[in-house]
Each structure stands twice: as C-alpha cells, then as structure tokens.
Structure 1
Amino acid sequence: MSLPPPGYQLFAPGLLRPDWHLPPGVQALVSTREGGASLPPWASFNLGSHVGDDARAVAANRARLCAAIGAQPVWLEQVHGCVVADADGAVGVPEADAAVARIPGRACAVMTADCLPVLFCDDEGGVVAAAHAGWRGLAAGVLERTVERMGVAPGRVRAWLGPAIGPAAFEVGDEVRAAFVAADAGAAAAFVAGAAPGKWLADLFRLAHRRLEAAGVRRIDGGGVCTVADPTHFYSYRRDGTTGRFASLIWLDAARSTGPA
C-alpha cells in the first residue's frame, strides 16, 4: 500500500484516518481506491453501485469496509441537493446529500470523486453528520442545512473538509461563479479568472469555509487535498471519466463519551 497523503494516517489497507481532533467515541475515516475487488477502470476499492462496476465487486468492497470499521454505513442516493436524511431511522437508500446520526454504529457516509465531502460532530460526541457538497449542493445550502439538523449550537460543531477537486483543477463557467456571488459578494475571492473568457478556477474548500463560518461554525479542519492530483489514492471523475467512488464516513462507536473532549 502507498504512503498516506499529508493530513492522514493509515488505519487499515485502503482506509485513512484524518488528522482531526475528535471527541471520545467519534470515529472518522476516508476510503481510498486501493485494496478492493473491482477491476479497471474502477480499480479497485470502488464503493459506488451506480458507476457501471460489477455489482459483486461493489458488494465485496462494501462488506470489507463494514468489517473494517465495525459500523453500518447508511448509503445515500446523492442528487446534488440539500436534503438531510436521518441515518438512525433510514430504510433503504434515502435520496439525500447529507445524513445525521445519534445512534452508535450507524455511519453517516458520502461518496465522492471530486465533489467535497464534509464531516461534522459536536463537542460532546452526541451527534455526527456527513454532507456531499458539489458546487450545486454547496450553493443550495447543504452545509447550513446539515448544521441545522444536528440540533446543537453551531459554535459547538466541528467540521472537516475531505479530499476534493482542488482550485488549480476546478474550471467552471460564469453561471457557477454567479450562483455564489449572488448570495455572498465576498465569494468572488474564491474564483480566479481562467485562460478563456467566461471561465474561472473555483476553490471549493474556500467556498465551504465561507458557508460554514457564516453558519456559525468556527472550527474547520482538513481541506487542500486534490483528488485530481492524487490518482494513487482517490478517484476523480474530471480526471478519468469512468471511475469509482470513495467514501468519507463518521460514526459514534459503542464506547462514546457523553462529556466534552
């Protein structure tokens, strides 16, 4: 297995633990593309069932993930919106782009291959959440909705930004920039003019920071790891087209504490 990227530690083959201070009993991991059963072009630890991969390989990869983490991921049908599912009572595959859990063993999970995964927990280790933030969901307020659904004061929330397409690779059109600047004039600082008229290089990490800070979240870690630039660890739709999906997960384990860290 390859060495983990900066900001991560190896948890198990194909699984990384972010360098993120968490309350006792809260666990967070990011999967990679290494060590699974999928064949090219999904090689090899693809967790997405919607990308054309062999269903048996995806099932084997998901079973391996569950065994490694000792929790049950609640998979979502992600639609680039801002619906937040209740992972504790979820049946089947909810159509949502975020999930919140308060019951130990129910892992909030989002799958990405360039979009931004954001994980959340509160200081007491009583509630966790995960959000899938592509530019559409980010502009629509998926992060703010997730913080609201956690049901705690935003000042008690910790957030972590996972691997996503970086600002040197994410070229967008005028309509994307306009969607953010219309709601927040300061968001213009997250866009750099591209090589062609009407094209911009967008910084998803910076945009997410602005949205979270405006929602009252002050402790924001992670960010800066580009999926496009790291083909060893991460899938990237923009880089490869047909590709797999990796997961960012957070959950409460059975030994969670009810006191602050």
Structure 2
Amino acid sequence: MSFIRPAWPVPKRVHSLLTTREGGVSTAPYETLNLGDHVGDQHASVMANRQILGRHLPSEPVWLNQTHSVQVSTPKSRAQHTRKPFDADAAVTNIPDEVLVIMTADCLPVLFSNADGSVVGAAHAGWRGLCDGILENTVIEMLELSHQSTAADLIAWMGPAIGPDSFEVGEDVLQRFQESGLHDMQNCFSSIPTKPGKYLANLYQLARDRLKAVGVTSVFGGDMCTVTDGERFFSYRRDGVTGRFASLVWISQ
C-alpha cells in the first residue's frame, strides 16, 4: 500500500503516516483503500482495508465517530466510556503504541506532538470544527497530559484538505468565523468576483491563525489539495459518494 510520511521535526519516538486511496480492496466509487465504515462501502471491504493498514501499526487504532464536534477523546475518557467507536473529533494520548487516527475526505487532519514526544494528538478540522474550537480543545487536552509543556512547545502538521483554490463557501461561513472572534480575514477568505456572496476559504490559513492565537507556531504541512489530487485522495466535494483516507500518529515504546 502507498503511504505518505509527514515531514515535521518530531522526536524519533513519534511515528506518523497518511494513507492514500491506493492499496485496498474496495471497488468504485470507493477504490481502493477506503477506511470509512459510514460511507456506503461494503463492510467486508472496509474491514479488509483496515486489516491491511493494521499490518503497519503497533495496535488497533483508536477509531472515532466524527461528527464535526469539538469533543476530544483522552485516555481517561476512553477508560470511562469503552463503547467504540468513540464519539469525538480529536484524540490525544501519552500511552506508547496507542494509535490515534483521523479520517477525512476534504476536511483538514491535524497531527500534534509535544517537543519531547511524550504526548501526541490528532484532530479532524472541517470549517465547523475550526470555527467552534476543535484545535484549541486538542491543545488544551495535550497540555493536560504534559504539564511540563506549553503551547509553544507543540508541533503541528496539517495533512491534505480541500485547497484554497477549491473551497467555495457562502456568506454564512464567513459570518460564522467573524462571530467566532476571527477578525483578520485577509488571508483566509477571498471574494469571487463572478459570484456575489461567494468566497474561496483557506482552511490551512484558518488553522494556522487558530493555532497561533493559542501559542502554537511550529506548524508544518498544508500543501496538498484533496480535490485536485484525485489519484491519491478521496474528496467528498469532488465526487460526492467516496471513501475516506486516514492520518495516524503514535508514540513508540
């Protein structure tokens, strides 16, 4: 199967990878490595794909039921509520070999590590999650697991998402961000001259601004577009019915 290895300056004990749509068994329109069990693909195919992925991991990933919330799954919450998949849009851990996973097909996956690699995190940041604070909540929960760390010690990597030239939104999205306290919109939204009331939104810049506001400035990635790279990535905006790829992070023993 085909992986992408994130390029970010994390300690050697921190491992991360990104799946592509290649190397699985699903048929069209989910070809081939669809990992999402909620998109209409055959259950047996999804389980086979997850088994293929599992050969490259130290343990079964912490699968999430992602609903565009701002809920973060923690080791404590997972111990208290063992029903799987866990209802959350981000996860953090300080447990070696516990694999965190985010599934996307246009929304922004963000992976995190602290400076010494003792805590990692993964967040699912579509525009709703970004607006409501999923990244900020992930940072808070990471620092709860690493009291010696500050936000300035955290490192983030932004995986493939719908790019700034492809993400068309309306006035409602712009207004939601304005109401959320994000006032510097110059690099985040650009009006479309031929479509009054429509804008191109930059998820990557929105995420950078959100992270910077809470003190996270070591941010990498943000240079891939799911919509235009149909060979490697699923895209809901492009295809409608489609699969999901995964961004994963864990700490080694």
TM range (shorter): over 0.9
Structure 1 segments of 4 or more deviating over 3 A?
Answer: none
| 1:248 aligned onto 2:247 | yes
Tell me the alpha carbon deviations over residues 85-133 of structure 1, each in whole angstroms, 9 at most, x when there is no partner: 0157632111110000111111111100000000000001110000000
1:142 Cα deviation from its structure 2 partner: 0.3
CA contact (8 A) 1:14 1:45 kept: no
1:27 Cα deviation from its structure 2 partner: 0.3
CA distance in 2, matches of 1:32, 1:149: 28
Task: Report how many residues are paired.
Answer: 242
CA distance in 1, matches of 2:201, 2:182: 15
Letter in 2 for 1:124: D
Partner in structure 2 of residue 174 of structure 1: 171
Partner in structure 2 of residue 72 of structure 1: 60
Letter in 2 for 1:186: D
Partner in structure 1 of residue 105 of structure 2: 113
SS of the residue corresponding to residue 11 of structure 2 reads coil
Partner in structure 1 of residue 206 of structure 2: 207
CA distance in 1, matches of 2:185, 2:140: 22
SS of the residue corresponding to residue 185 of structure 1 reads coil
List aligned pairs for 1:1-261, cutoff 5 A: 13-87=1-75, 90=78, 91=82, 92-151=84-143, 152-182=149-179, 183-194=181-192, 195-254=194-253
1:189 Cα deviation from its structure 2 partner: 2.9
1:239 Cα deviation from its structure 2 partner: 0.4
CA distance in 1, matches of 2:124, 2:68: 8
1:187 Cα deviation from its structure 2 partner: 2.7
Tell me the alpha carbon deviations over residues 66-99 of structure 1, each in whole angstroms, 9 at most, x when there is no partner: 1112232101000101100015763211111000
Q: Which moved more, 1:189-198 or 1:115-124?
A: 189-198
Q: TM-score, normalised by structure 1?
A: 0.90
Letter in 1 for 2:195: A
Letter in 2 for 1:26: V
CA distance in 2, matches of 1:206, 1:82: 19
Compute the RMSD of aligned alpha carbons: 1.1
1:181 Cα deviation from its structure 2 partner: 2.1
Gaps of 5+ in 2: 144-148
CA contact (8 A) 1:88 1:106 kept: no
SS of the residue corresponding to residue 189 of structure 1 reads coil
Letter in 1 for 2:96: P
